[in-house]
Amino acid sequence: MAKEKKGVRLEHISKIYQDPKTKKDFYAVHDTSLEIAPGSFVTLLGPSGCGKTTTLRMIAGFESPDEGEIYLGGEPINALTPNKRDTAMVFQSYALLPHYNIFDNVAYGLKLRKMDKETIKKKVMDILKLVGLEGMEGRMTNQLSGGQQQRVALARALVLEPGVLLFDEPLSNLDAKLRVSMRTEIRRIQQEAGITAVYVTHDQSEAMALSDQIIIMEKGVVAQIGTPQEVYYHPSNEFVADFIGEANFLRGTLVSTDTADIGGHKVAVAASGHDVGGACTLVLRPESAVLGDKGQLPCKVILSCFMGSYQNYHVMVGDTLVKITDFNPKNRKVYQVGDDAWVAFTSEDVHVL
């Protein structure tokens, strides 16, 4: 599909805005450097106001960096207008032309490029097949469901054969079930087209399902870059651990390279390289722990709720609330509110911050 797989490189990019209330300047994005490999699917993830959309808009050319340089396939692009960059954007609002049918919406950018009719027809029909809208080219966009409109927007971007495809929260207007099926489709289409994709979302499950790499942003800076598995199992700090999935934080002291003291109880941890004798925080995911009559940490059960595929527990370890997701509880002992029990986990199940 794409003429050439192009990577994206950001070198020390910053964007400064003025706060409308205080009139003071602030960094929306600060000194950010990124390398996005050609053909990969990379997601910018973070809460509202973290700088992810600003970063995407700078790659697209809708915003200009105040510091640093952006490269596309090795070419500096800061000075290029959006239409001169080898990128295409899929917007949250779809931005379809309401008086045009599907074919003319998708063909619009090709007509602007003065392509001949036969070439346009072949390219549009090929793309409609790829996005699953074959045979619907005569339909008006106002007769389409949200998911179909999203596919038209995707086809319109893909038909231009950009080096890089940019997504600005494209699924946020869809209902939950459709979001799940559309993200599977977007990933399939990206892989079939072999195109580099940069995707913005605040939805962690979307980022996990789609990405080769996730770039987690916090307050205008990159908090962590890694595969979905890396950021989930080895978060770089509490913000990342808390933002990706649910996490319990157990505070204590590292008494040796592979042992921590949590409230007077010795707990084995994977060797972390942290300073022995220093305060430490252990990240324990709810599904990584089980309740038992023996284990690492004594606790009292304050919530026991059957959820079908799992038993949901809240327990108190000293004065720390710990959440436990105990999958497939059918043939296991179920603890009730008020019961004393132990939280059990292995050294591989905790990550030392």
What's the mean pLDDT in 188-217? Answer: 91
- Residue predicted with more confidence, 40 or 332: 40
In the chain, the percentage of residues whose pLDDT exceeds 70 is 99
- Residue predicted with more confidence, 294 or 5: 294
pTM of this structure: 0.85
Dist CA 86 CA 69 (whole Å): 16
Give the start-to-end residue ranges of the domains of the chain: 8-238, 248-352
Q: What is the pLDDT of residue 69?
A: 95
Give the angle 54-57-61 at the CA atoms, nearest 5°: 135
Please check the confidence at residue 198 and state whether its pLDDT lies above 90.
yes
For residue 3, name the pLDDT band (cuts at 50, 70, 90). Answer: low
Least confident segment among 60-69, 153-162, 269-278: 269-278
Q: Where are the alpha helices (DSSP H) in the chain?
A: 52-60, 102-112, 117-130, 146-158, 176-193, 204-210, 228-233, 238-243
Mind listing the pLDDT tens digit for each residue in 204-243? 989 999 999 999 999 999 999 999 999 999 999 999 999 9
Q: What is the pLDDT of residue 145?
A: 83
- Comparing C-alpha atoms, which of 25, 27, 82, 80 is closest to residue 49? 27
CATH fourth-level superfamily of 248-352: Nucleic acid-binding proteins (2.40.50.140)
What's the mean pLDDT in 163-178? Answer: 85
Alpha-carbon torsion, ordered 154, 160, 164, 168, to 10 deg:
-30
Architecture of domain 8-238: 3-Layer(aba) Sandwich (3.40)
- Ranked by mean pLDDT, the top range of 3-7, 9-13, 141-145 is 9-13
Mind listing the pLDDT tens digit for each residue in 93-145? 777 888 889 999 999 888 888 888 888 888 899 889 888 888 888 888 888 88
